[in-house]
Chains A and B, each alone.
Chain A
Amino acid sequence: MKSIKLKQHTKVDFATYAGVIVAFIIVTLMRSNGLLGRSTIGLLVPICCYVTMAVSLNLTVGILGELSLGHAGFMGIGAFTGVIVSQAMLINGTESVSLRLLAAMFIGAIFAAVFGFLIGIPVLRLRGDYLAIVTLAFGEIIKELITCLLVGVDKKGLHIIFNYNGLKTVSDLHLAEGGQVIIKGAQGATGTNTIASFTAGVILILVALVIVLNLIHSRTGRAIMAIRDNRIAAESVGIPITKYKMIAFVTSAALAGAAGALYGLNYSNLVASKFDFNTSILCLVFVVLGGLGNMWGSIIAAVVLYVLPEELRALGDYRMLIYAVVLIIVMLTTNSPQFKSLAGRLSIRQSKKGVTER
C-alpha cells in the first residue's frame, strides 16, 4: 500500500477548493428545485465577485502586509473594461456568451494589472498609513476619471472621449449607424447585455484561489511573507523587496479586475460611484474579519457579511445599524484582552494553560 503524503497546507488548500465546489453544487441543486427566492438568486453573482475581491485583497493585506484602501478602484477598472469588451464583441458579431465573458474578464484583469503596476511604482515606496492613504487617493482618482469617460462603439471600432470639463456630449462620439454608446460619463454604463452567471463566478473564485494559494506556497510567496514579517531581514538575505511587493500587488489588482468584469456584466446599468471608498472598506472588512492571510476565512466572511445586510432587509432602517453593532462586537470579542480572558475562564483547558504560563 502506497499512501500519498500531503503537506498540511496542501490538505487545507484542497479542502478550500472542495468546499467551494460543494457549495456550488448545493446552491445549484437548491436553485433547480426552486428553494431559492428571486432576491437570493440575484445575490449569487455579486457574492462570487466579492469573494474574489476578498481573496485578492487578502493577498495584499494578509500576505504582503500592506493596507490598501483603494481596492475597489481596480474592480472599477475591470468592470468598465469588461463591459466595453463584451459590448464591442456583441456589436461586431460575437454572440457566444462564454467567449465574451472569458474575454471580458481576461482583458479586465490585464487592464487592472497594468494600472496596478503603474500605481504600484509610487505606492510601494511608501509605508504603513502613508501607503494606505495613497491607495485611497488612487481609488478616488480612478473613480473620477471613469466618471469623465464617454465611450461608444460601432463597426469601425471604439470611440473614446475624455470629457474632463463636462462640455462634450454623446453626439460628439460621431458614431456610425448601428453604433452603441457604452459609457455615458456620470450615468455610467447603460444598456449592458447582462451575461454574468453563477457558474462563471464560481469558476472565477476557483481560478483566483488556485493562483493565490499556489503563489503563497511558492518561493515567491515565501519571499513576500518574509518581507511582511521583517523587511530589513528579508532585504539583508538578498530578497529584492520592490519586485516581490510588485508581484503581489499586481496579482491582487488583476484578480480584482476580473471580479470587477464579472460584476459589471451582471447589471444592465452601472455607475462608477459604485466603486468608491465604501466598497474598498467593505472588502477590507471581509478580509480582516475572515482572518489575515486566511483564504477560506475571507470566503466565509465575504459570503456571510454580504448576505447578512440583505437578509436583514425585513428590519428596514435598522439593518445597517445592526450590521455596525455586529461588526464592532465581533472586533471587540476577537481582539480585546478582557474578552479573551473572559472566554479563557469559561473554558477549562484555556484557563489551565493560562495558569501554567503564569
Chain B
Amino acid sequence: MVFLSYLISGICLGSVYAIIALGYTMVYGIAKMLNFAHGDVIMVGGYISFCGFAYMGLNGWVALLLAMAVCTILGILIEGLAYKPLRQATSLAVLITAIGVSYLLQNSALLIWGATPKNYTPLIPLVGPDGAPNALRLFDGQLSISYMSIVTMAACVIIMALLTWFTSSTKLGKAMRACSENKAAAQLMGINVNRTISMTFAIGSALAAIAGVLLCSFNPTLMPTTGSMPGIRAFTAAVFGGIGSIPGAFLGGLLIGIIEAMAKAYISTQLANSVVFSVLIIVLLFRPAGLLGKYVPEKV
C-alpha cells in the first residue's frame, strides 16, 4: 500500500514532467532547437496565475486561463524576437540565445516579483475546510489520492489525447508534422513555415503555463528559479522518450516521475537526481535515440 502511494505520487509528478516535455519535444521536432527558456516559461505561468488569484481576486481556474493566455503571447514574442532571426544560424548560436532568454526571464521575474518565495495556493486545496485531507480514500482509507493529483493525471492524459488528435487530424497539426519532416518541401506545398513554427511555440508555452500551475500546486514555493530544475528534468524526459516524439515525451515524463519518486522513497533523497540521470544514461546506451525515437541511419 505504501508502494502504491509512492507510485501514485510518482505518476502525478511524471504527469507534470510529461506536460512540460510535450512542449520541449514539439518545439524540438519542428525547430530542431533545445529551448532552454521553456523551464522559465513555466515559472512565468506560475507567477501570472499567482497574481491572478492573489492580487486580482480571480478564481483559480480563471487565473490558469489568464496564465495560459499570457504565456502563449510570451512564447510567440520570444520566438519572433529571439529565435526567428537565427533560423539559418548554427544550433549552438540558437542554444546560447535560448540561454540568454532564460536569464532574461529569470531576472525580469526577480525584478518584478522579488527574490522572496511566494506561497502558492494550490488549484484545488490539498486540505478541506474541515481540516481533513481533500482526497479520494480507497481501501478503508489506507490509500488516499488527493483530488489535485487526480486532476493532474487527468490533465496529462487529456492533453496527450488532444495533441495526438491535433497533430494527426487538423490542418495546422499536419502542417507541423510536414515542417518537422522537411521545411523546404513543406514551403513548396504552400505551408507558411514561419507561422507554423510560431504556432508550435504558442502551444508549447500554453502547455508550460498549465504545467506551471500544476507544479506550483504540489510544490507551493514560487521563486524566479522554480522552473529551471523541472525544466531540465522534463528535457531529460523528452530525450528519454525520444525527442521529437509526442508519445515518447508522455512515456518519458511518466517514467522519469516514477523513477524519481521511487528513488526518493527507497534509495536516497539526496541521490534522486543521480538515479534519474543514471537510468537515462543506461537507456541511451542501448537505445541511442530514446525509447520511442526513430533511429535514422546515416547514408553516405
Using a CB–CB cutoff of 8 Å, the interface residues on chain A facing chain B are 61, 67, 122, 125-127, 129-130, 132-134, 136-138, 140-141, 144-145, 147-148, 164-166, 186, 232, 277, 281, 284-285, 288-289, 292, 317-318, 320-321, 323-325, 327-328, 331-332, 334-339
Contact = CB atoms under 8 A, between A and B. Distances in A.
Interface string B82-106: 1001101110110111011101101
Contacts of A140: 232, 273-274, 277
B110 interface: yes
Interface in B33-58: 34
B235 A133 contact: yes
Nearest to B300: A232
Nearest to B285: A122
A133 B236 CA distance: 7
Contact of B271 (A164, A232, A292, A337): A164
B96 A277 contact: no
Nearest to A185: B270
B107 A332 contact: no
Contact of B111 (A277, A288, A318, A339): A318
A187 B221 CA distance: 23
Contact of A138 (B28, B82, B277, B298): B277
A141 B270 contact: no
A327 B100 contact: yes
Candidate in B34, B108, B281 with the most chain A CB atoms within 10 angstroms: B281
Given A130-B289, A134-B280, A140-B277, 5 more contacts: A141-B273, A284-B99, A292-B92, A320-B110, A328-B97
Contacts of A141: 273-274, 277-278
Contact of A332 (B82, B103, B270): B82
Given A133-B239, A328-B100, A288 B92 contact: yes
B92 A67 contact: yes
Contacts of B271: 144-145, 148, 164
A338 B239 CA distance: 33
B289 A339 contact: no
Interface in B281-295: 281, 284-285, 288-290
B5 interface: no
B3 to A, nearest CB: 19
B26 to A, nearest CB: 15
Contact of B93 (A132, A166, A288): A288
A183 to B, nearest CB: 14
Given A137-B281, A141-B278, A285 B96 contact: yes
A325 B103 CA distance: 9
Contacts of B235: 133
A20 B182 CA distance: 47
Contact of A338 (B85, B101, B269): B85
A145 B236 CA distance: 19
Grouping DSSP codes into helix (H, G, I), strand (E, B) and loop, the A interface class, with mixed when no group exceeds half, is helix
Nearest to A139: B277
B268 interface: yes
Candidate in B34, B277, B298 with the most chain A CB atoms within 10 angstroms: B277
A293 B124 CA distance: 53
B273 A144 contact: yes
A324 B280 CA distance: 31
A166 B97 contact: no
B107 A321 contact: yes
Nearest to B288: A126
A321 B269 contact: no
Nearest to A278: B228
9 contacts: A129-B28, A148-B271, A164-B270, A292-B92, A317-B111, A324-B101, A328-B97, A335-B89, A337-B85
Candidate in A127, A321, A339 with the most chain B CB atoms within 10 angstroms: A321
Contact of A126 (B93, B101, B284): B284
B19 interface: no
A321 B85 contact: no
Contacts of B28: 129
B236 A324 contact: no
A149 to B, nearest CB: 11
Given A125-B285, A137-B280, A332-B82, A321 B270 contact: no
A130 B239 contact: yes
Contacts of A332: 82, 85-86, 97
A317 B278 CA distance: 37
A141 B279 CA distance: 11
A13 B298 CA distance: 37
Contact of A320 (B85, B107, B243): B107
Contact of A328 (B82, B89, B281, B300): B82
B111 to A, nearest CB: 6
Contacts of A148: 268, 270-271
A318 B103 CA distance: 12
5 closest cross-chain pairs (CB), A and B: A137-B277, A336-B85, A324-B103, A327-B100, A324-B104
